[in-house]
Amino acid sequence: MPLKNRILGKTNITVAEMGLGLWAVQGSEWGKADDKESLEAIEKALGMGANFFDTSDVYGDGHSEELLGQAMKGWRGKFVVSTKIGWRGFTDGHSGYTTVDKLIAGIESNLKRLQTDYLDILFSHINFHESTMPVFVEGFAKLQKQGKLKGYGVSTSDFEYLKKFNADGGCSVVQIDYSILNRTPEADILPYCAEEKIGLVIRGPLAMGLLAGKFTKDSKFEQGDFRRNWIEKPDQNKVFLEDLAKVEKLKAVAGGKSLAQLALQFTLAHPAVSVVIPGAKNPKQVEANVSAGLLPPLSPAELKELDSITPPNGGRKIWPA
């Protein structure tokens, strides 16, 4: 059975409901990674029917985009490419892209690393100070008119910021953190996007690996892996331990599937969701993740049981968007 397809908001782009997030590459904040395995992961995802690939200019300082560009050689038409811009030169809440010309020059660098002349989706990477917002909206709209973008939006979990970004109705896609452990978007962002016909790209569906069920209170993280904060910072460790307790309860609901598959199916169950983009470092992880989209959907009874463990509209994340 092939992956199901969904329409990506106002863009009318058809995407498989399971995609691949490409943050965890060599040089990123996820510990060790291998370029060969990253390329094989992309190939595996494409071979399983996934076509949406998400990256950013700051993942591995641009290395993630370079790898995706390498993987796309001769196959560009098979890929729906999503990338982000905005963090470079970030200071005191403000993006370094203070003018439309600077922003467009930055986007040209995205295109160069990806070895393509157009982007399917471009996001403002997180919500910067509102004074910068008009630069991104104007610059994105200009490039869309030129045919260099099929759609644009913002990566944020801030509902008020999203509404302001979409004030002119031009935002066609939003990327948010959403999982069984972080159901807060159900209260506002998910219904708003459904009403506005804004496509929803879901990052963090496995809660940075927590919903893979492989961590314990004694887990260790490599130097350079931001998840060390879950152990070393008291405030994050408190939430980490609370989430581990929920994970143990969720395992009992999974039944014959893995906890990760259950978590991914949960995000796919919401009708407003367009595509879910779990990260993966190697083909084995990709196969496990994408296969969740090949399983029968969660039953009302299963969803009700999940509600009893993590109530609707609730939960919290331990890493900023």
25-79 pLDDT tens trace: 887 777 788 999 999 999 999 999 999 999 999 999 999 999 999 999 999 999 9
Q: Is 178 a catalytic residue?
A: no
Which residues lie below 8 Å from residue 211, measured CB to CB, with a gap of 6+?
179, 180, 181, 205, 247, 250, 259, 260, 263
Q: Which residue has the higher pLDDT, 106 or 313?
A: 106
* Residue of 59, 97, 152, 178 marked active site: 59
Type of residue numbered 177: D
Which residues lie below 8 Å from residue 37, measured CB to CB, with a gap of 6+?
281, 282, 283
Q: Report the percent of the chain where pLDDT is more than 90.
A: 75
Q: 5-309 has which CATH code? A: 3.20.20.100
Type of residue numbered 195: E
Across all residues in the chain, what is the average pLDDT?
92
Q: What per-residue confidence (pLDDT) applies to 86? A: 92
Q: Report the percent of the chain where pLDDT is more than 70.
A: 97
Q: Which residue has the higher pLDDT, 127 or 247?
A: 247
| Distance in angstroms (rounded) separating the CA atoms of residues 106 and 103 | 5
